[in-house]
Amino acid sequence: MLAIGSDHGGFELKKALLDVLNKQGIEVKDFGTYSCDSCDYPAIAGDVCRAILSGECDRGVLICGTGIGMSMAANRFSGIRAALCSEPYSAEMTRRHNDANILVLGARVIGPGLAEKILDIYLNTPFDGGRHARRVTMLEQVTGSDENS
């Protein structure tokens, strides 16, 4: 199952992508927001991340105005590898090399047609594994503290 969430800045793009996903028969759980009313993106990012980390959902999509806030919020969670993508090549490579489990989109940066193409590539590109698996494991070991220096 795919988790999806947006703040008010990403709401319209989320609606458009939900239509595409539903037409493709992809099972989606929508974590909000459900209107253009102002809301707090960290809470929605947290709900999507927890759904992935618990195994309720396999991967996720987060959308805000630029994608930056959602990326920052999602990547605070250990085990989440959220990638902000504004073009198809990055979406392919973040799946192939980073096994990204969340795609982040900026609704005010890209239009719905490009977002749909990026999403399609993200959903249909497998992780290459191999040497990249070692690097993903290394990412999970990064703590951000200075105690190992």
pLDDT digits 0-9 by tens, 18-35: 999 999 999 999 999 999
Catalytic residue among 8, 49, 57, 64: 64
Total domain count for the chain?
1
Residue among 8, 39, 97, 132 flagged as catalytic: 97
pTM: 0.94
The predicted-structure confidence for 71-107, as pLDDT tens digits, reads as follows: 999 999 999 999 999 999 999 999 999 999 999 999 9
Active-site residue, 64 included = yes
Q: Does residue 128 lie within any of the structural domains?
A: yes
Would you say 41 and 64 are in contact if contact means Cβ atoms under 8 Å apart? yes
For residue 15, the Cα-to-chain-centroid distance in whole angstroms is 16
CA dihedral 76, 62, 44, 60 (to 10 degrees): -80
Q: In this predicted model, what pLDDT tens digit does every residue of 105-149 receive, in sequence order?
A: 999 999 999 999 999 999 999 999 999 999 999 988 886 655 544
Q: CA 66, CA 72: separation in Å to the nearest integer?
A: 11
Q: What sign results for the dihedral spanned by CA atoms 114, 73, 125, 26?
A: negative
- Give the three-state DSSP class for 99: coil
CATH of the domain at 78: 3.40.1400.10
Assess if residue 149 is contained within a domain. Answer: no
